A and B are shown apart, each in its own frame.
Chain A
């Protein structure tokens, strides 16, 4: 399919709109339009993770070298990445205890200030997948941090002083925070974590000046609390019609512990004035406990893309990617806002390289589906999506619900980790392609009945994982790849196999480069055209953070946090099972612990002065 990108647009189109209708957060918008800066975790509101900088490029990247490194003093998994807002400092964060550092770029990372909250360590055991945090946000001279213990805090970026803090949840009930906040207008938007602890997910907006709650939209329950109007909120382009589906699509009361945690990234379209995010798995992993009278029930609005008005939280449209989850396919992956030409027509697109193994292209104005295709060919839980109903067409051989409780359903692809987890993708408006690290892992999944106890795990399934089958001469036993994906045609353009899942956020630049990190600890630069490796550097620990870039005093830098952990650090540490071996086979495939150890380090790269 022919694809023509018309994407300078989000920014250009924005400028064309009058200030009266569009003011996002004025100071933040200004920063996001400055090509030298990296002012939000995903690089811009649209989630492109793309930089127009080209000082570091295909011809000279082989000279890239570390300028300086900084140990965070924290051992566990370091997700997210550094921000640069043009004030001569890098702002970085750590997993629990959630330190924040302002580091001086003029003095090789001297600590200008640091912040370390005092948190109850009992929050640690209610974090399902390591004590990660996906980074701070910046706006109007403030740094916003979501602490593990549910405290949302605003710091003075100048000196790290606390300006206000507010509690967004209760860790004794299994609620925590890991996601990176996003500032839109005068509000900071945050989501809760805890889908494995029977929490009830919600997205909440707080006033950036006072910390006062502006609105909260739940992921399930009555429409009045989800902030849905069934007469106006769209689903597949039509009003939902039926009221309170967030209650009626659950067995009695189960929605109250229905998960749907929005722990991933939030993106924003300033022109439409809509925010986009996805919700996580619907409560217990045992689908039998979420069925109604033994029949599958949609469990709305788990694993759903929400488009909300950032001012009021009202839901403009919803799309449930996976009704009645049977695999833990959290729907939190980033909704990348791209303007594309489809069959000769300009569309305001929303693209997802999804946990399910499918790549979605939707219309971000009304939530209609445009393209849904597999980016991971091993994906077998569904054969395809029905474009009329928007529902996946399941293969019952890989349906744990159909196979039954206490039955081990084998060789399901992808694994519960997803064909892509939280590691954010990148979109290059120059090539029109998306770039992402993905996971090539399959699973056996066995649901069992579980009881809900507040603050306790509410999982109800065991799973074992194994590398996905290798096709077309791929690397034997590989557990990950880095891919270039055509979101309109729904095709993989090229892919590079990696030994382990690629759990690091991608970056593309106008220097014809794509960057990513590996779980062994390499930062790699590849040719954006074909994936050919042009440069690598081994950091001290595995990388689950995101590669960011910026220019300070006329010099371009690449910066990344290393520090292995996250779910990858739990699930892959000891190695996966060989499906061909019997009980007791251990470490047949590569074990992460053979390659890397803990430790958070920021590495800042530069080209040598010529």
Chain B
């Protein structure tokens, strides 16, 4: 079964207003630029949706960062290679996330970049799945860059997953109660 994160399903797809902002010429990203360092990460923090923030415990990550890995694998890996390490033709995004703040990172994803004819970073401005995961992808890359997240598919920190499962379970029980 797919892991369900009922509290975050909205984050998988960008809101219309976010899409509108990104599609606008000039890509006014300042409102989205929540560049942050991971040095002040709080082990108790559950909400790590801010771009660049992530939580790692025993090599496991928070659910949003995990979504960043999945989104990367699904939409970026075909060019940028496994685990963000780059390919023969597309750059290493782990290093890119060190050099670029979130605004610049997001601007490139949304607007694309033509290095030369045939070597093109496509624009993802009309891809709600990617746009909805910009922060998560950036968080995943920052975690990779800091050496906190290794190669391959990370696991999710159990208590965060359990909390969600408990919420889901309670919601389902409530529904069943109402039905009966």
A-side interface residues toward B, CB under 8 Å?
A: 74-77, 94-97, 121-122, 124-125, 127-131, 196, 405-406, 408, 444, 446, 448-450, 453, 456-457, 459, 462, 464-465, 542, 564-565, 569-571, 573-575, 577, 582-586, 592-593, 596-598
Q: Which of B45-53, B116-124, B163-171 contacts A (4 or more CB under 8 A)?
A: B116-124
Residues of A within 8 A of B3 (CB): 406
Q: How far is the CA of A124 from the CA of B81 in the complex (A)?
A: 15
Q: A456-B129, A457-B78, A464-B152 are in contact. Are A121 and B122 (CB under 8 A)?
A: yes
**28 A-B pairs, CB-CB below 8 angstroms?**
A76-B89, A76-B119, A94-B118, A97-B117, A130-B89, A131-B118, A405-B1, A406-B1, A444-B152, A448-B2, A449-B1, A450-B74, A456-B129, A457-B75, A457-B78, A464-B152, A570-B81, A573-B81, A573-B88, A574-B83, A574-B86, A577-B151, A583-B59, A584-B150, A593-B86, A593-B88, A597-B88, A598-B89
Q: Does B147 contact A (CB under 8 A)?
A: yes
Check A573–B118 contact: CB distance below 8 A: no
Residues of A within 8 A of B150 (CB): 582-585
Q: How far is the CA of A64 from the CA of B1 in the complex (A)?
A: 59
Check A583–B122 contact: CB distance below 8 A: no
Check B2–A408 contact: CB distance below 8 A: no
Q: How far is the CA of A131 from the CA of B147 in the complex (A)?
A: 31
Q: Does B153 contact A (CB under 8 A)?
A: yes
Residues of B within 8 A of A74 (CB): 118
Q: Is the interface of A mostly helix, strand, loop or mixed?
A: loop
Residues of B within 8 A of A124 (CB): 120, 122
Q: How far is the CA of A129 from the CA of B127 in the complex (A)?
A: 20
Q: How far is the CA of A577 from the CA of B75 in the complex (A)?
A: 22
Q: Does B73 contact A (CB under 8 A)?
A: yes
Check A592–B88 contact: CB distance below 8 A: yes
Q: How far is the CA of A390 from the CA of B78 in the complex (A)?
A: 34
* Minimum C-beta distance from B131 to chain A (A): 13
* Minimum C-beta distance from B74 to chain A (A): 5
Interface range, B side: 35 or more
Q: How far is the CA of A196 from the CA of B75 in the complex (A)?
A: 11
* Minimum C-beta distance from B156 to chain A (A): 10
Check B88–A569 contact: CB distance below 8 A: yes
Check A565–B88 contact: CB distance below 8 A: yes
> Which of B3, B59, B85, B151 counts the most A-chain CB atoms under 10 A from its CB?
B151
Residues of B within 8 A of A597 (CB): 88
Beyond known contacts A95-B118, A130-B87, A583-B150: 13 more, CB 8 A cutoff: A75-B89, A76-B88, A125-B122, A127-B78, A444-B152, A464-B151, A464-B152, A570-B78, A570-B82, A573-B85, A585-B151, A586-B85, A593-B86
User: Within B110-166, which residues are at the interface with A (CB < 8 Å)?
Assistant: 114, 116-120, 122, 127, 129, 147, 149-153
* Minimum C-beta distance from A567 to chain B (A): 9
The 6 closest A-B pairs by CB, nearest first: A583-B150, A569-B88, A574-B85, A449-B2, A584-B150, A570-B87
Residues of B within 8 A of A125 (CB): 75, 78-79, 122
Q: A76-B119, A446-B153, A448-B70 are in contact. Are A584 and B2 (CB under 8 A)?
A: no
> Which of A122, A131, A408, A570 counts the most B-chain CB atoms under 10 A from its CB?
A570
Q: A95-B118, A131-B118, A457-B78 are in contact. Are A573 and B87 (CB under 8 A)?
A: yes
Check B119–A75 contact: CB distance below 8 A: yes
> Which of B73, B83, B152 counts the most A-chain CB atoms under 10 A from its CB?
B152
Check A583–B151 contact: CB distance below 8 A: yes
Q: Does B92 contact A (CB under 8 A)?
A: yes
* Minimum C-beta distance from B66 to chain A (A): 11
* Minimum C-beta distance from A587 to chain B (A): 9
Chain B minimum-CB-distance residue to A444: B152
Residues of A within 8 A of B119 (CB): 75-76
Chain A minimum-CB-distance residue to B119: A75
Residues of A within 8 A of B59 (CB): 583
Q: A96-B118, A97-B117, A457-B75 are in contact. Are A462 and B152 (CB under 8 A)?
A: yes
Chain A minimum-CB-distance residue to B152: A464
Q: A75-B118, A96-B118 are in contact. Are A570 and B79 (CB under 8 A)?
A: yes
Q: How far is the CA of A596 from the CA of B89 in the complex (A)?
A: 11
Residues of A within 8 A of B118 (CB): 74-76, 94-97, 131
* Minimum C-beta distance from A3 to chain B (A): 40
Check A456–B75 contact: CB distance below 8 A: yes
Q: How far is the CA of A379 from the CA of B81 in the complex (A)?
A: 25
Q: How far is the CA of A582 from the CA of B151 in the complex (A)?
A: 9
Q: A97-B118, A448-B2, A462-B152 are in contact. Are A128 and B78 (CB under 8 A)?
A: yes
Q: How far is the CA of A573 from the CA of B74 in the complex (A)?
A: 19
Convert B1-25 into 0s and 1s, putting 1 for each residue whose CB lies closer than 8 angstroms to a CB of A.
Answer: 1110000000000000000000000
Residues of B within 8 A of A459 (CB): 73-74
Residues of B within 8 A of A94 (CB): 118
> Which of A121, A444, A569, A592 counts the most B-chain CB atoms under 10 A from its CB?
A121
Q: How far is the CA of A542 from the CA of B73 in the complex (A)?
A: 25
Residues of B within 8 A of A408 (CB): 153
User: Within B80-98, which residues are at the interface with A (CB < 8 Å)?
Assistant: 81-83, 85-89, 92
Q: A74-B118, A75-B116, A122-B122 are in contact. Are A464 and B82 (CB under 8 A)?
A: yes
Chain B minimum-CB-distance residue to A131: B118
Check B92–A574 contact: CB distance below 8 A: yes
Q: How far is the CA of A565 from the CA of B118 in the complex (A)?
A: 13
* Minimum C-beta distance from A411 to chain B (A): 14
Residues of A within 8 A of B85 (CB): 573-575, 586
Chain B minimum-CB-distance residue to A572: B88
Check A571–B1 contact: CB distance below 8 A: no
Chain B minimum-CB-distance residue to A583: B150
Chain B minimum-CB-distance residue to A408: B153
Cross-interface CB contact of B88 among A128, A450, A456, A564, cutoff 8 Å:
A564
Residues of A within 8 A of B73 (CB): 459, 462
Chain A minimum-CB-distance residue to B114: A121
Q: How far is the CA of A115 from the CA of B79 in the complex (A)?
A: 26
Residues of A within 8 A of B70 (CB): 448
Q: How far is the CA of A571 from the CA of B88 in the complex (A)?
A: 9
Chain A minimum-CB-distance residue to B92: A574
Q: How far is the CA of A597 from the CA of B70 in the complex (A)?
A: 28
Chain B minimum-CB-distance residue to A121: B120
Q: How far is the CA of A571 from the CA of B85 in the complex (A)?
A: 10
Q: A121-B122, A405-B1, A462-B73 are in contact. Are A571 and B82 (CB under 8 A)?
A: yes
Check A577–B152 contact: CB distance below 8 A: yes
* Minimum C-beta distance from B140 to chain A (A): 13
* Minimum C-beta distance from A60 to chain B (A): 34
Q: A96-B118, A453-B129 are in contact. Are A573 and B86 (CB under 8 A)?
A: yes
Check A571–B81 contact: CB distance below 8 A: yes
* Minimum C-beta distance from A521 to chain B (A): 12
Chain A minimum-CB-distance residue to B80: A570
* Minimum C-beta distance from A80 to chain B (A): 16
Q: How far is the CA of A577 from the CA of B118 in the complex (A)?
A: 30
